[in-house]
Structure formats: structure tokens, C-alpha cells
Structure 1
Amino acid sequence: MGLLDSLTSALGSGDATQGSAHASVLAAAMEYVNQQPGGLGGVVQSFEQNGLGGVIGSWIGNGENQPISSDQIESTLGSDAVSAIAQKAGVPADQVSGILSQVLPHLVDKATPNGEVPQGGGFDASSLLGALGGLLGKREG
């Protein structure tokens, strides 16, 4: 689980339990995105349809990532998706939106290093692992 451990460490997850929850939600979220029609492109479209195109655009672009609230995550992905991610991750549903609001911007940012959604639109865990090395360096400094 190197990628997940790296990302949760980079995000400064407090204790081991919190880090484990972040890793579990992150894995479930990656699977969710990869299963969506259009992959990440489909998720981007969902954000745009919910008035959050600028927010996800900042994650894809090369500037600073705009924050997102747990309520915005819930309304954009839908409660069914959040519940499914929670069930798959083994994390209480009321915590998943908050965790996603912390990890999803970083994940999308690192999945789009050239400021574009990759063809195929899915998350490639092996390529994300290398990209997260830079994130680790920024957090530890």
C-alpha cells in the first residue's frame, strides 16, 4: 500500500488510525473514480454541473488547489457514492466526505501533472506514486 501510505503521510494525518482511514478512503475513492463513465473526466463533469468547475479546475491546473468542503463533496458525488466509498473503506459514512475533502484535491492534482485529465481518465496508482514524492518533500520541509 505504498502509494496510499505516502499520500496519507504527505497530508499530515495525525495518528495511525486516522492515517489508516485516509488510506482506506483514498483507495476506495480511486476505485470509484476509475469505475465512473469517463473516469476522472466524468467526475470533472459532475463537479462542473454542480457549479464547482473552478474548484476541480484548480486541482487539475498548475496553480494552488482551491479547498472544498465536505458538504460540497457530498452534494457533488451524491450520498449514494459517499456511502459506497464508506462501506468499501470500512469508515463511517459521516467521516468520508471530510476525508475526501482533504485527500481528493491532492489526488486529482497529482493525477494531472500536465494540467490535463489523462486519456482514459482513470487513476494510475504506479504513476501517482512517483508524483507524490514531491508532495512528501513539500510537507516535510
Structure 2
Amino acid sequence: MGLFDNAVPGGNIAKPLMIALGALMVGKMLSGRSAEQPAQPQSPEPAGTTSADGGLLGGLGGLLGKLTDAGHGNVADSWVGTGQNQPINPNDLGSALGPQVIREIAQRTGMDEQELLKQLSAALPGVVDKLTPGGQVPPQHQVASLFNS
């Protein structure tokens, strides 16, 4: 995936990590998630936990909102802005995203939750930076098209 090749330290993004990033920002990466919900028979879900087109958190804006709500707005803003990207601690990222989201992504990717958080915390600053050229969050359909190419 050319856009993200230099987004993470060490080069290319491995497929499980790309699936994880897509799960956070693009619902289509979840391949039928809504049909695989035996534990939740009621269809209405809590606001912000899923979206047919925006991943588990309602897209890139939802991800940034989660980080801001968890007290990491300055870090998230640094990824969107044009300056230096600030790092995020894997535990802080896990707290911001919540255990349910981390568990679901770990299941989708086959990764251990701690390894997933370690890789996401390394990748997200560069990926969000690449998705937000000029310091602007793009419309969700543009983000989705990048993951579908």
C-alpha cells in the first residue's frame, strides 16, 4: 500500500496492522462485522462504537475524538497538524480506544492485544499524518478509498 509505506518506523505496514488500522477507520475492513454479533442481539449500539462506513470508532474523526476525550488531544492534534508528530504510549492508546475495541481488533487480526497496541501506537502517528495533509481531516469517503485501493 504505497501511501503508508513510510508511515511507520521501519517501512511497510504488515497486513494484520493494516487490518487493524482499517478496523479503526473504515468499517469495510471488518468484513461483515454486523452479521457476526451473537453476543449483542439488539441492533442499536452505543454511539461512537461502530459505523457501517467509519470503522469501530466512526472514522478518522471518531478516532481523533476518542483520543481527545481521553486527554490526548495535544498528541492527536500533532498528528493532524503540520509539525512534529508526538508519540503515544501503547497503554494510553489502549485506554483511549477501550478494551472492547482492542479485543475486537485483536480477534480480527489474530494479534495479541499488547502487540497490537504496541504496533498501533507506533503506526498511528505516521498514518494519521499521511491521511491529513495540510492539517485537515479528509471526508470519510476519502479515507475509505485509501484503504480499499
TM-score tier, shorter chain, comes to: 0.7 to 0.9
Q: Is the 8 A contact 1:86 1:93 kept in 2?
A: yes
Distance across 1 between alignment mates of 2:89 and 2:99: 14
Identity of aligned residues (%): 32
* Change in 2 beyond 3 A, CA 1:43/1:102: same
Deviates more, 1:112-121 or 1:93-102: 112-121
Root mean square deviation, CA, Å: 2.8
Tell me the CA shift for residue 64 of structure 1: 0.5
Deviation of residue 121 (structure 1)?
6.8
Report the Cα offset of residue 67 of structure 1: 0.6
Counterpart of 1:117 in 2: which secondary structure?
Answer: coil
Question: Residue 27 in 1 paired to residue 19 in 2?
Answer: yes
Write out per-residue CA displacement over residues 106-126 of structure 1, whole angstroms, 9 at most, x where no aligned residue. 110000012011122762454
1:12 paired residue number: 10
CA 1:37–1:94: 2 relative to 1, 3 Å: closer
Change (3 A) 1:53 1:6: same
- Give 1 or 2: higher helix fraction: 1
Match of 1:53 in 2: 73
Tell me which of 104, 109, 124 is aligned to 1:104.
124
1:103 and 1:51 map into 2 onto residues whose CA distance is: 20
2:109 to 80, 89, 97: 89
Distance in 2 (alpha carbons) for counterparts of 1:46 and 1:110: 19
Measured after TM superposition, the shift of residue 85 of structure 1 is: 1.2
What is the rounded CA distance, in whole Å, between the counterparts of 1:46 and 1:114 in structure 2?
22
Shift of 1:53: 0.5
Pick closer, same or farther for the CA change 1:49–1:126 going to 2, 3 Å. Answer: closer
Assess if the C-alpha contact under 8 Å between 1:50 and 1:76 holds in 2. Answer: yes
For 2:24, the aligned partner's letter is Y
CA contact (8 A) 1:39 1:121 kept: no
Q: Secondary structure at the match of 2:143?
A: coil
Query: Aligned pairs, how many?
Result: 121
Give the structure-1-normalised TM-score: 0.72
Structure 2: unaligned runs, 5 residues or longer:
27-54
| Unaligned stretches of 5+ residues in structure 1 | 14-18, 130-141
